[in-house]
Amino acid sequence: MTDFFITGTDTEIGKTYVTCALLRDMRRRGIRAMGYKPVACGDRNDPRAMREASDEPSLSLELINPVFLRAATAPLIAAELEGTELSAKKLAEGYRVLRKQYSPILVEGAGGWEAPLAPGESMADLAQELNLPIILVVGNKLGAVNHAVLTVQSIRSRGLTCRSIVLNHAGEEWEAAELTNRRLIEEMTGIPVSAELVHNQGDIDSQAVLGI
Report the C-alpha gap between 149 and 171 in whole angstroms: 22
Report the C-alpha gap between 15 and 6 in whole angstroms: 7
Predicted confidence (pLDDT) per residue in 28-41, tens digit: 999 999 999 999 99
Cβ–Cβ < 8 Å for 106, 22 = yes
By mean pLDDT, which of 38-47, 49-58, 164-173 is the weakest? 164-173
Report the C-alpha gap between 129 and 109 in whole angstroms: 13
Q: Which CATH architecture has domain 4-210?
A: 3-Layer(aba) Sandwich (3.40)
Predicted local confidence at residue 145, as pLDDT: 97
Q: What is the DSSP secondary structure assignment for residue 167, as one 8-state letter?
A: E
Whether the per-residue pLDDT at 71 is higher than 90: the answer is: yes
The model carries a pTM of 0.96
Report the C-alpha gap between 175 and 178 in whole angstroms: 5
Q: Which of 37, 89, 90, 141 is catalytic?
A: 37
Predicted confidence (pLDDT) per residue in 102-140, tens digit: 999 999 999 999 999 999 999 999 999 999 999 999 999
Predicted confidence (pLDDT) per residue in 151-210, tens digit: 999 999 999 999 999 999 987 788 899 999 999 999 999 999 999 998 888 899 999 999
* Known active-site residue 37: yes
> Comparing C-alpha atoms, which of 37, 28, 36 is closest to residue 55?
28
Predicted local confidence at residue 172, as pLDDT: 76
